[in-house]
Amino acid sequence: MAPENPMDHDETMPKTVGEIGERGLIELMLRHITPMPNMPIPFWDDVMAVSLGDGRAAVMNTDMLVWSTDIPPGMSHFQAARKAVVMNFSDLGAKGVQPQAFLSSLGIPRDVRVDDVEELAKGFEAGAREYGGYVIGGDTNEAPDIIISGVAFGVGEENRLMKRKGTTPGDVLAATGRFGDTAAAFKILLEGVDAPDALREKLLASVYTPNARVREGIALGESGAVTASIDSSDGLAVSLYDLSRSSGVGFKLHTLPISAMAEEFAGIHDMDPGKLALYGGEEYELVFTVKPSEMDMAREALRTVGCDLLELGVATSTRRMVLVEDGVETLIKKGGWEHFTG
Amino acid sequence: MAPENPMDHDETMPKTVGEIGERGLIELMLRHITPMPNMPIPFWDDVMAVSLGDGRAAVMNTDMLVWSTDIPPGMSHFQAARKAVVMNFSDLGAKGVQPQAFLSSLGIPRDVRVDDVEELAKGFEAGAREYGGYVIGGDTNEAPDIIISGVAFGVGEENRLMKRKGTTPGDVLAATGRFGDTAAAFKILLEGVDAPDALREKLLASVYTPNARVREGIALGESGAVTASIDSSDGLAVSLYDLSRSSGVGFKLHTLPISAMAEEFAGIHDMDPGKLALYGGEEYELVFTVKPSEMDMAREALRTVGCDLLELGVATSTRRMVLVEDGVETLIKKGGWEHFTG
């Protein structure tokens, strides 16, 4: 029970989860875990993988939605369940893996209406089929809140998996799309900020009906041009910091990929649209790095699935995150979403 | 949203989960799910599986522990986490599959002590290593209660998987051990029933530190002698009913496999020890059926891993569950554990 460094910890006042945050908690937990030999993907990536011994890897991910904490106002049961699939499939897509199956472990309070649970089932089905996967089962339990613990499963070629780690200085930083819609939507949903009806509806759709870049990830994986990849579910800034930490690089961005709707919303309210783009979350674009000599291949791979590659900047050897616009350098702070703290 | 049979449902008073129970809920949910083609294991089994296309199947299971509902008084964080592994690995073992990996999706309230979460990590590690598997990762989330959603993963030969379905009348019904310890322990823990210290301690250990029959399941699977198999996590009676439903058979038992400790506990309190054996749960013996001509093989397979095969009775063509002792036939009712109801 004694912590490795006794100075970390005052026995009279044990630390709580809220005090150390999600990342600190995972670090502490991993101290006690023996890594599996020959893990195709190390800890601290988006997914977990087990070698199948024939060049392939079973790739899995698990993510939990807790109704009272994670489900925004106005989201239906169908949408919440579909989102549970999207968020789990997105992580597989970010590694270049086709999701084949979805499992759900459901916690349900006794007084939940049966037709709401049927809507959850329809949402799982819709999400899985939309991305070419199937719901293969799960488990139901009594719980004090609706808990949707989802699991995605797929199989990938071990040497084609796009990991978080792999960027070297000089690599091009790129994304599959623009950011900021969900940050604007959360301002509407959680802070009561206003927006014209048509804009409001489209922004809210980004939260209620998010889309995963699964086909895009598979195309990028097959191209072999990508050196590292992550999905942006915790926000663009956090994704940059995660890529940075994994490979020991920094990034110099020449542009922030701000969505047109986020620009419009920011304009109405005199907000900084860059902040909406950086510090959102729950949007599932891929953020990745590419060897400069292979940019054409990456661009072409995305084009075959109808997606434009957005070039954001370049990886650097100093672990700083900066935006350089009109010769002015701005530090990109981390911010973004982490469980338990903030 | 309309139910398939409008008579099932009164729109003015929607049914709740508590009214229809776990089985009814799963039936309703499955109405909306498209089965994956060529599922190596159909719905309503203990595990989920995906064909790997080379004669092997990826086999998975997910089971959730909710602290306030599922964790008995006195169970430590370490024990709860270890149990989450045991219960998930047990289902793989019941299919004859070696568990390779464990994933946990954790829900944690903000005020939980960090050292309790470290104990969870140690429990995952201990459980996984004990059965030859590894913890390969997971996910942490804020939640109103401690939620441990576990996932077990392993790979099996598709044509060797021991399914729930497969029993034909005349097959021998057997088990890997005796029952009743956990039922007695729950009487101590939840109903305040007394027991001498030494007995009490050993009974409680059956709840706090359960064991999965993984090596036994793998040995039985390799023997090829087993026609159907299930783990007894919902109690012996429920396991018999589940096997019965899957294969359309009944069972005639000539003996109830009652543990010595359950006999002793029942003797002290003038209880029926048979009821302790039938209506417990959270014990992880394997209950399985064997072709009569292959009983020696099954017995020998278990002997190689140090386990005695207990012969309980025979499968019948009438879907009744009876115990015949001294010529007297007693109907075995279902009882046992189901979420949401009772």
Three-class SS of B194-233: CCCHHHHHHHHHHHHCCCCCHHHHHHHHHHCCEEEEEECC
Judged by CB atoms closer than 8 Å, whether chains meet at A1 and B115 is answered as yes
Q: Which residues contact B83 (CB under 8 A, 6 or more apart)?
A: B65, B75, B123, B127, B208, B209, B210
Cα of B137 to nearest chain A Cα, Å: 6
Query: For A136-193, how does the pLDDT look when each residue is reduced to its tens digit (9 = 90+)?
Result: 999 999 999 999 999 999 999 999 999 999 999 999 999 999 999 999 999 999 999 9
Judged by CB atoms closer than 8 Å, whether chains meet at A122 and B15 is answered as no
What gap in Å lies between CA A217 and CA A212, rounded to an integer? 9
Spell out the alpha helix ranges (H) of chain B: 17-30, 67-70, 77-94, 114-130, 181-191, 197-208, 214-223, 236-247, 260-269, 273-278, 295-304
Q: Tell me where in chain B the CATH 3.90.650.10 domain(s) lie.
A: 172-331
Torsion angles phi and psi, residue A229, rounded to 5: -155, 150
pLDDT at A314 over 90: yes
Which residue out of A5, A11, A13, A17 would a mutagenesis test of the B interface target, given it has the greatest number of B Cβ atoms within 10 Å?
A17
What gap in Å lies between CA B137 and CA A28, rounded to an integer? 13
Closest residue in A to B137 (Cα–Cα):
A48
The model's pTM: 0.94
Query: For B186-216, how does the pLDDT look when each residue is reduced to its tens digit (9 = 90+)?
Result: 999 999 999 999 999 999 999 999 999 999 9
Closest residue in A to B148 (Cα–Cα):
A149
What gap in Å lies between CA B149 and CA A64, rounded to an integer? 9
The residue-averaged pLDDT of B330-336 equals 85
Nearest CA-CA partner of B141 in A91, A45, A66: A66
Query: For A36-86, how does the pLDDT look when each residue is reduced to its tens digit (9 = 90+)?
Result: 999 999 999 999 999 999 999 999 999 999 999 999 999 999 999 999 999
% residues pLDDT > 90 (chain B): 91
pLDDT at A218 over 90: yes
Q: Which fold has domain B172-331?
A: Phosphoribosyl-aminoimidazole Synthetase; Chain A, domain 2 (3.90.650)
pLDDT at A12 over 90: no
Pick one of 3.40.50.2300, 3.30.70.120, 3.30.1330.10, 1.25.40.10 as the CATH number of A41-160: 3.30.1330.10
Closest residue in B to A66 (Cα–Cα):
B143
Range with the poorest average pLDDT among A300-304, B268-272, B323-327, B338-342 = B338-342
Among the partner residues A56, A68, A105, nearest to B144 by beta-carbon distance: A68
What gap in Å lies between CA A114 and CA A112, rounded to an integer? 6
What gap in Å lies between CA B232 and CA B209, rounded to an integer? 16
Cα of B154 to nearest chain A Cα, Å: 9
Q: Which residues contact B5 (CB under 8 A, 6 or more apart)?
A: none
Cα of A84 to nearest chain B Cα, Å: 13
> What is the structure's pLDDT at A7?
45
pLDDT band at B4 (very low <50, low <70, confident <90, very high): very low
What gap in Å lies between CA A271 and CA A264, rounded to an integer? 10
Among the partner residues A32, A64, A114, nearest to B118 by beta-carbon distance: A32
Q: Tell me where in chain A the CATH 3.30.1330.10 domain(s) lie.
A: 41-160
Closest residue in B to A122 (Cα–Cα):
B32
Torsion angles phi and psi, residue A287, rounded to 5: -115, 125
Count other C-beta atoms under 10 Å from residue A56's C-beta: 18
Cα of B116 to nearest chain A Cα, Å: 9
pLDDT band at B14 (very low <50, low <70, confident <90, very high): confident
Judged by CB atoms closer than 8 Å, whether chains meet at A118 and B155 is answered as no
pLDDT at A336 over 70: no
For domain B45-160, the CATH class is alpha beta
Torsion angles phi and psi, residue A78, rounded to 5: -55, -50
Contact B337, B235 (CB under 8 A): yes
Judged by CB atoms closer than 8 Å, whether chains meet at A134 and B340 is answered as no
What gap in Å lies between CA B223 and CA B217, rounded to an integer? 10
Query: For B259-287, how does the pLDDT look when each residue is reduced to its tens digit (9 = 90+)?
Result: 999 999 999 999 999 999 999 999 999 99
Helices A181-191 and A197-208: crossing angle in degrees, nearest 10, is 100
What gap in Å lies between CA B196 and CA A220, rounded to an integer? 66
Q: Show residues of chain A in contact with B153, CB under 8 Å.
A: 50, 58, 60
pLDDT band at A14 (very low <50, low <70, confident <90, very high): confident
Instruction: Cite the beta strand spans of chain A per DSSP E.
Output: 48-51, 56-66, 99-108, 134-142, 147-157, 172-175, 226-231, 250-253, 286-290, 310-316, 321-325, 328-331
CA separation, residue B183 to residues A229, B272, B274, B308 (Å): 50, 12, 11, 22
CA atoms within 13 A on the CB side of A258: 21
